[in-house]
């Protein structure tokens, strides 16, 4: 088979520095030596190819929608993120959820999780995962024994269209007291 060579001429402004190989598939892109569009896209592509769909970028968690079910949302995975600091477990929407939950318990202040993206990016799925996390830790409680989540939380699983603002309320006991959708 004969190889064909193609020469391409580009401007210096179109060339970006590449990160050393030790940064391949890095969990937090804020740690990269060279943080540019090409490096970010390369890292996300490499992680996605290894089915690592969650990646941190500083305080944010970037999700690449796999458009398929992955076995990373069961109660055992929830337990793996409960009470853990961000650096103690791989990037995941459950880590973001637990950080908000722990900050609420520690600081006794309201917390928010913002999920944003293009159409089809997985906003609805990730919203369900945040609610799933809260419902699972509420169902498990301190006893470690799983109970069924309440119907008021299950209704969020079926909400699909329009802007949604699910809200859960916790009294002093740190258990879900009520939840509603605005």
- Residues marked as binding for ATP? 117-124
Q: Are 39 and 18 in contact, with CB atoms under 8 Å apart?
A: yes
- Percentages helix, strand, coil for the chain (3-state, rounded to 5) are 40, 10, 50
Return the structure tokens found at 61.
Answer: 């968690």
Report the binding-site residues. 117-124
Minimal CA–CA distance to 149: which of 164, 172, 126, 128?
Answer: 128
Measure CA of the first residue to CA of the last residue in the chain; give whole Å: 63
Q: What number of helices (H) and strands (E) belong to the chain?
A: 5, 4
CA atoms within 13 A on the CB side of 149: 20
Return the structure tokens found at 165.
Answer: 């603002």
């Amino acid at each position: 088979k004969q190889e064909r060579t193609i020469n391409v001429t580009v401007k210096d402004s179109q060339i970006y520095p590449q990160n050393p190989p030790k940064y391949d598939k890095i969990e937090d892109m804020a740690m990269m030596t060279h943080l540019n569009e090409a490096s970010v896209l390369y890292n996300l592509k490499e992680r996605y190819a290894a089915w690592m769909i969650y990646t941190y970028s500083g305080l944010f968690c970037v999700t690449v929608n796999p458009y398929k079910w992955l076995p990373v949302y069961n109660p055992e995975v929830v337990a793996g993120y409960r009470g853990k600091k961000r650096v103690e477990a791989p990037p995941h929407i459950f880590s973001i959820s637990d950080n908000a939950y722990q900050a609420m318990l520690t600081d006794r202040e309201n917390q928010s999780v913002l999920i944003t993206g293009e159409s089809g990016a997985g906003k609805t799925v990730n919203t369900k995962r945040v609610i799933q996390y809260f419902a699972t830790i509420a169902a498990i409680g301190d006893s470690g024994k799983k109970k069924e989540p309440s119907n008021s939380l299950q209704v969020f699983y079926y909400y699909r269209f329009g802007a949604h603002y699910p809200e859960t309320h916790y009294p002093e006991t740190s258990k879900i007291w009520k939840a509603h959708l605005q």
